[in-house]
Amino acid sequence: MTKFERDYKDAKEGNEIEVITKRKAEIEKLTREGKSCKNNFRRTCIAQDLTRLKAELRKIEELF
């Protein structure tokens, strides 16, 4: 089971606020890290992770 599947299941069971705040904090952390990173390859990886996390967050928020 992936992290998204666990969070999606948790959100369905009523812990949506905690899941959403945790995901938003992770997105903000990666955004700050991406802005300060000087390694182009790492910055690209962070951008891909951000895109994935934002899409997953949208799916979780659509439940409510």
Which residue has 């990886």 as its token pair?
45
pLDDT of residue 15: 87
Integer Rg of the chain from CA: 13
pLDDT for 43 beyond 90: yes
Helix axis angle, 3-10 relative to 16-36, nearest 10°? 140
pLDDT for 51 beyond 90: yes
**Global pTM?**
0.86
pLDDT for 21 beyond 90: yes
pLDDT of residue 35: 93
pLDDT of residue 64: 80
Produce one character per residue of 26-50: b if its CB has 16 or more CB atoms within 10 Å, e if not: ebeebeeebeeeeeeeeeeebeeeb
More confident residue, 51 or 12: 51
List all residues 6 or more positions away from 1 whose beta carbon is below 8 Å from its beta carbon.
none
